[in-house]
Amino acid sequence: MYIIVVGGGKVGYYLTKTLLNDRHEVLLIERDRDKVETYSERFGSVILQGDGAEAAVLAAAGAARADVLIAVTGEDEDNLVICQMAKHKFHIGKTIARVNNPKNELLFKKLDTDVTVSQTNYILGLIEQAIPDRAFIHLLSLRHADLAIIEATISAESPVANQTIGEIDLPVACVIAAIARGADVIVPGPDTEIMPFDEIIAVTHRTEEDELRRLLIIE
Amino acid sequence: MNVVVMGCGRVGARVSSILDNNGHRVTVIDTNSTAFRRLSPDYGGDTVLGTGIDEDVLKSAGIEDADTFIAVTNGDNRNIMAGQVARVMFNVRDVIVRIYDPVREDTYRRLGLSTVCPTTTISALIIDQVIGSSAPNRRTEPRET
């Protein structure tokens, strides 16, 4: 597979190294001449000096025959434009953009980038899971279905404590998938009662995550 | 008409001042507060400090009620991204984006943005003056890659 990486910061550097080790054909485009010189000594001739948003640079990189382009510069506006130029001018099948500011993720998704990688959100999520005594944790986003998997710890004061699943007025696009009670894991039915200190694993549409949070937890 | 202008350089300040003078409601955004000194002394519109690729900054500039958004910072990519934020996230009716790079300008014009490319416009004006209007094919542009 021929992969073009744009942006030779830490992410771009290790990405290029990993992809080369996996025996892909890789070209890294980087603006800074000093970095290009250093990397060229390490990697050989897989580095191109230039601005990845310039069509002439992409053309010189052989963008027309590339299978994937990955834009990982530190600037969201550059990553967006690089991916759009790759898609519309060079018809690269798959574009992947790093999103530095989580606020921009929705825009990137609406504008033809095939995959967005929001490292800020990812790191926040990991830290959030590591903080003890959090009552409601977002475990995972299922990107393509726009679903999220969440974990909630039920307190004695929770509005749903001591109610059965059937009695709870769950948001439409939510399913309680499992209940962890002590060492047991229960796959609940309508008659299963939710007890204080239960840990609930639920699958929910992302638009209803907040509603589910309000239902399960007293903030 | 409600207009939001991003970038208060020479062009942004002039456009903002003239539109304000013509009775439109103008808000101009810049990351640098000293840039607002370029506005004409009788400019009566608003100024907002911040970057126009940030949705919250655009909101505080009144993008939700804007009829027109104009992106004229010095960065092509910044203008392009802000223009698309205005169009896609806020459904602004008219979005005008300055793009210096003719190839990028061509690409985004095809994608439906209203674009202004100073490079091709000014080059054409200069060539007109140099060659004169009698020269044939004076507007033939070099093929882009």
Which CATH number, 3.30.70.1450, 3.40.1210.10, 3.40.30.160, 3.30.2350.10, labels domain A127-216?
3.30.70.1450
What pLDDT shows up at residue B140?
56
B104 at A interface, C-beta within 8 A: yes
- Amino acid identity, position A181: R
Query: For residues B78 and B9, is the Cβ–Cβ distance under 8 A?
Result: no
> What is the distance between the alpha carbons of residues A88 and B5, in angstroms, rounded to a whole number?
27
In tens, the pLDDT along A17-30 reads: 999 999 999 999 99
Say whether pLDDT at B63 is over 90: yes
The model's confidence at residue B137, banded by pLDDT at 50, 70 and 90, is: low
In tens, the pLDDT along A170-217 reads: 888 888 889 988 888 889 888 899 999 898 888 888 888 888 888 888
In tens, the pLDDT along A58-104 reads: 999 999 999 999 999 999 999 999 999 999 999 999 999 999 888 89
> What is the distance between the alpha carbons of residues A84 and A95, in angstroms, rounded to a whole number?
8
Using DSSP, state whether B59 is helix, strand or coil: helix
What pLDDT shows up at residue B141?
59
Q: Which residue has the higher pLDDT, B9 or A130?
A: B9
ipTM value: 0.85
Query: For residues A66 and A92, is the Cβ–Cβ distance under 8 A?
Result: yes
What pLDDT shows up at residue B132?
77
What pLDDT shows up at residue A133?
64
Would you state the structure tokens that stand for residue B121, as one six-digit string?
Answer: 């416009």
The model's confidence at residue B68, banded by pLDDT at 50, 70 and 90, is: very high
Interface touch A80/B144, C-beta < 8 Å: no
What pLDDT shows up at residue B72?
97
Q: Which residue has the tokens 């191109």?
A: A48
Overall pTM surpassing 0.90 (yes/no): no
Separation in Å, CA B56 to CA A174, B50, B52, B64, B68: 30, 9, 9, 11, 17
What pLDDT shows up at residue A102?
86
> What is the distance between the alpha carbons of residues A184 and A75, in angstroms, rounded to a whole number?
47
The alpha-carbon gap from A76 to the nearest alpha carbon of chain B, in Å, equals 9
The model's confidence at residue B142, banded by pLDDT at 50, 70 and 90, is: low
B115 at A interface, C-beta within 8 A: no
Q: Which residue has the tokens 């959090």?
A: A134
A contact residues 55-114, partner B, Cβ 8 Å cutoff:
55-56, 59, 75-78, 80-81, 84-85, 88-89, 101, 103-104, 106-107, 110-111
The mean predicted confidence, pLDDT, of chain B is 92
Confirm or reject CATH 3.40.50.720 for domain B2-117, answering yes or no: yes
Measured at the CA of B31, the angle between CA B30 and CA B32, to 5 degrees, comes to: 90
Q: What is the DSSP letter of B39?
A: S
Would you state the structure tokens that stand for residue A162, as one six-digit string?
Answer: 């001591």
The model's confidence at residue B81, banded by pLDDT at 50, 70 and 90, is: very high
What pLDDT shows up at residue A52?
95
> What is the distance between the alpha carbons of residues B110 and A95, in angstroms, rounded to a whole number?
19
Question: CB atoms < 10 A from the CB of B4, how many?
Answer: 31
Q: Which residue has the higher pLDDT, A158 or A2?
A: A2
List chain A domain ranges: 2-119, 127-216
A with B: how many residue pairs have Cβ under 8 Å apart? 61
What is the CATH number assigned to the segment(s) A2-119? 3.40.50.720
What pLDDT shows up at residue B40?
96
Say whether pLDDT at B133 is over 70: no
What pLDDT shows up at residue A132?
64
The alpha-carbon gap from A218 to the nearest alpha carbon of chain B, in Å, equals 29
List chain B domain ranges: 2-117
In tens, the pLDDT along A105-157 reads: 889 988 878 888 887 777 777 777 767 666 777 777 776 668 888 888 888 88
The model's confidence at residue B14, banded by pLDDT at 50, 70 and 90, is: very high
Average pLDDT over residues B30-53: 96
Question: CB atoms < 10 A from the CB of A165, how many?
Answer: 18
